[in-house]
Structure 1
């Protein structure tokens, strides 16, 4: 008989909670999506923020305070609160520029980092009627609920010339001095499309794309994405090759292409 101490840590309850949080926040974000009275401000970094961003994060924080009072919370709009080895990382609306323009490609990102490991991630894109999630050792899934889900698996493409690459923009690569390297990679791939933001990484997890990369990202942009890509069989690192969402940038692949992509971009 396996002792309790020897049992692997599971995060099933946290996954269920993440779904509850996503259900609640969708009612806020969808109500405000394309609303004529949506209030949009500019943050100090010149990126937009709407009243829906703030309301969505406050709602998630309020529910986490009741359900996980001992856990810390880190969000895009209100920073870090609390202490503890477990930290929830939230991006209330990833793709705010799309959101404020009425484009449906945006999502709420909810992640859990336990110690220094991202162990659970959920991406909810209600305007696309899509949701993706994963937890450590339990695989990656997509569907509208836990009861209606299909398992994700990355592609088996093993050559750059056969690969599909998704990205957000060219400008960031220029800013970090790697524009030529990135453009060279895009020219050698079979196909490139700028799906952008969370969607690029979910397409890698689904096996629809083979490579996704962005040069400048925050932890809240990536924390929910990394477990989904890795549990689907892929790799998620920074340009420096460090696993996980901690490098300030991201490279996600099906795993087979990862070392070559890092060699060319990093």
Structure 2
């Protein structure tokens, strides 16, 4: 089934409204630091703001799409449908807890296993990025002032290339990939760890050229993958192939640099 442009436009508008609804509670909690912190089973933190924001997002989405399914970071899977909304209410809870604005709300739509829509709302940082399949990628301070984004034209890992890394714990246990990362670091002009939403936003607007990350899940990157792809980039797992619900690492970049890095990490 091919989704119409009108459906995607409407779904995007609803996703923006859902992100706005979440932002109200997140901002109130963040600005007042009024929340307690619990540890989840994987030892990562969760707050009332995470749980409340996910419910606020679902309320907006469900009001328009009552038959769709949901997969949320805090409340798990609900329903079965060809349409699955992927929700991370606060991606970067550790940053939220520690009081710096490097966190975002991630909302994506998957249709029959394909990612078709993404909204990455980083209100406290002051920007929001979004995209739908076939419609390009945009960034602005809110949904009404978007500017189109495009990845850079970088074609090699020379002195002008900029690479950002995220979590690398699992990669550090793989000697071959760790060595491959080391060889890449020696070749590029700039290596940084912007992390979470930020390095994908920077990639999509051409400010950096490649992102490498392990130890993640689909909710961390679903919306960002749509945004990077619609900006002209390539986004896959480190081994290449398609993105699915079981993804655990990511390689995203300009077409030329992604291809070269993919070969480097998978000799």
Q: Assess same fold via TM > 0.5.
A: yes
Is residue 265 of structure 2 the alignment partner of residue 260 of structure 1?
Answer: no
Distance 1:98 1:146, change over 3 A: closer
Instruction: Name 2:99's counterpart in structure 1.
Output: 102
Distance 1:47 1:176, change over 3 A: farther
Task: Find the aligned partners of 1:95 and 1:245 in 2 and give their Cα distance.
Answer: 21
Query: Offset at 1:180?
Result: 2.2
Instruction: Name 2:144's counterpart in structure 1.
Output: 147
Listed as ranges, the matches of 1:109-148 within 5 Å are: 109-148=106-145
Q: Per the alignment, in what secondary structure is the counterpart of residue 87 of structure 2?
A: strand
Is the 1:29–1:52 Cα contact (8 Å) retained in structure 2? yes
Is residue 249 of structure 2 the alignment partner of residue 249 of structure 1?
Answer: yes
Task: Find the aligned partners of 1:115 and 1:159 in 2 and give their Cα distance.
Answer: 35
Instruction: Name 1:194's counterpart in structure 2.
Output: 193
Q: Per the alignment, in what secondary structure is the counterpart of residue 226 of structure 1?
A: helix
Identify unmatched segments of 5+ residues in structure 2.
none
Out of 221-230 and 34-43, give the one that drifted further: 34-43
Instruction: Name 2:171's counterpart in structure 1.
Output: 173
**Cα deviation 1:16-69 (Å, max 9, x = unaligned):** 011101111111111111534321111110111111111111111222222210
User: When the two structures are superposed, what TM-score results if normalisation uses the length of structure 2?
Assistant: 0.93
Is residue 79 of structure 2 the alignment partner of residue 82 of structure 1?
Answer: yes
Instruction: Name 1:9's counterpart in structure 2.
Output: 4
Query: Offset at 1:187?
Result: 2.0
Q: Per the alignment, in what secondary structure is the counterpart of residue 15 of structure 1?
A: helix
Query: Offset at 1:188?
Result: 1.4
Q: Per the alignment, in what secondary structure is the counterpart of residue 146 of structure 2?
A: strand
Is the 1:170–1:179 Cα contact (8 Å) retained in structure 2? no
Instruction: Name 1:27's counterpart in structure 2.
Output: 24
Task: Find the aligned partners of 2:174 and 2:253 in 1 and give their Cα distance.
Answer: 21
Q: Per the alignment, in what secondary structure is the counterpart of residue 187 of structure 1?
A: helix
Task: Find the aligned partners of 1:231 and 1:56 in 2 and give their Cα distance.
Answer: 27
Task: Find the aligned partners of 2:242 and 2:200 in 1 and give their Cα distance.
Answer: 15
Count of aligned residue pairs for this structure pair: 261
Query: Offset at 1:245?
Result: 5.2
Query: Offset at 1:144?
Result: 2.8
Listed as ranges, the matches of 1:175-254 within 5 Å are: 175-177=173-175, 178-244=177-243, 246=245, 247-254=247-254
Could you tell me which of 138, 160, 163 is aligned with 2:161? 163
Out of 82-91 and 57-66, give the one that drifted further: 57-66
